[in-house]
Amino acid sequence: MRASIERTPRFAIRVFTDAERDYCESKGVAKFQSYAARFAAKEAFLKALKTGWRGKIAWHDIEIVLDGDGVPSLSLTGESEKLLSSSGADVVHVSLSHTTEHAIAQVILETTT
């Protein structure tokens, strides 16, 4: 992630929302870890939907947000919101983790009805 952002600064603007970039940039030397975890979560969401990156999905349609306790969740808009709705799932669980060298995210779609 560090190499991608340093080589092509517009990458961060294209992939992450303003709020995501503000959060990551506030992390100082750990900012690239935060970027990587968010990127992994966006990809994990698409894998959970079984769609991959296709059609009209935009990177900014999938935003990782934190609640007051720092618990991550996904804020979905546009095509990603439509795809979730058509999947039948009504709850999205997300987990992020990272070290200095690795980032991982898991997204689970749940149908409660």
The answer on pLDDT for 5 being more than 80 is: yes
Residue 56 confidence (pLDDT): 82
Query: Tell me: the pLDDT tens digits for 47-106?
Result: 999 887 777 889 999 999 999 999 999 999 999 999 999 999 999 999 999 998 999 999
Pick the CATH number of 2-110 from 3.90.470.20, 2.10.25.10, 1.20.950.20, 3.30.1180.20: 3.90.470.20
Q: For residue 76, which amino acid is it?
A: L
pTM of the model: 0.93
* Poorest-pLDDT segment among 12-16, 38-42, 55-59: 55-59
The answer on pLDDT for 28 being more than 80 is: yes
Boundaries of every domain in the chain: 2-110
Known catalytic residues are 47, 98
Averaged over 10-38, what is the pLDDT?
96
Assign 3-class secondary structure to the chain: CHHHHHHCCHHHHHHCCHHHHHHHHCCHHHHHHHHHHHHHHHHHHHHHHCCCCCCCCCHHHEEEEECCCCCEEEEECHHHHHHHHHHCCCEEEEEEEECCCCEEEEEEEECCC
Residue 54 confidence (pLDDT): 73
- CA triplet 40, 58, 51: central angle to 5 degrees? 65
